[in-house]
Amino acid sequence: MPLSAIDQQPGNETSTLCIGPEEVSRMANDLFSAMLGMPFNPEPQESTDLSSREVQATIRISGDWDAEFHVLASYELAGHIAADMFGTSASELSKDEILDALGEIVNVIGGNAKGIVDQDCNLSLPCVGRFLGELPASALTLDFDLDGRQLTIAMLEK
């Protein structure tokens, strides 16, 4: 059985696995379904065009394993996620609060990935801002349905 972040049993069980779609899906499911209680479909969907994505959160892992994780969403979805995390409505949140919430999402995903790989490496602080419309072609890009909206998680191993 794959190790789940929500199981709270980090260890060596999966340390030799690479991070692939299954791991990304499981990490996202742990975060959105188990922790935040949001309707999340862990089955990645066909990647659609990214034109509706407006905001981006990025985190870098550097050391024996170098990688980047990106979480992309429409501003409306980012607000929806933030509203859930803050326990309020999106209309009551500032732009900084909405971006902060998306930054924490990528922080958890990047941190979990780092834990699975279990190499000697460091996690950067998350960086959030406007999505500039492009991801590297070599990135593993997965689209998920989060409460009826499209969320993209991309991973780029270097």
Partner 1 sequence: MIGDGFRREEKRQNDQIDLEISTMNALIIDDSLAMRRILGTIMTGLGFETFEAKDGAEGLAVFLEKADTIEVTLVDWNMPVMTGIEFVEEVRSKNEFDTHKLMMVTTETEPSRMARALMAGVDEFVMKPFTQEILVDKLKLIGVRMPSPAEA
Tell me the pairing of strands 67-73 and 55-63.
antiparallel
Mask: binding to partner 1, 14-53, rule CB under 8 A, as x and -? ----------------xx--xxx-----------------
Q: Detail the DSSP E strand segments found in the chain.
A: 40-45, 55-63, 67-73, 121-123, 127-130, 140-146, 149-157
Query: Which member of 78, 82, 151, 155 binds partner 1 (CB under 8 A)?
Result: 82
- Residue of 112, 150, 146, 140 whose CA lies nearest to 20: 140
Q: Specify whether the CB–CB gap between 104 and 124 falls below 8 A.
A: no
Q: What are phi and psi of 134, to 5 degrees?
A: -150, 145
**Window of 17-25, 50-58, 114-122, 144-152 that interacts with partner 1 by CB under 8 A:** 114-122
- Interface with partner 1, residue 140, by CB under 8 A: no
Query: Which member of 13, 21, 38, 123 binds partner 1 (CB under 8 A)?
Result: 123
**Window of 45-53, 118-126, 132-140, 141-149 that interacts with partner 1 by CB under 8 A:** 118-126
CA distance 78 to 71: 10
How many residues touch partner 1 under the rule CB under 8 A: the total is 32
Cα 155 to its chain centre, rounded Å, is 9
- Interface with partner 1, residue 118, by CB under 8 A: yes
- What does the binding site for partner 1 look like in residue numbers (CB under 8 A)? 5-6, 8, 10-12, 30-31, 34-36, 82, 85-87, 96-97, 100-101, 103-104, 107-108, 110-112, 114-115, 118, 120, 123, 125
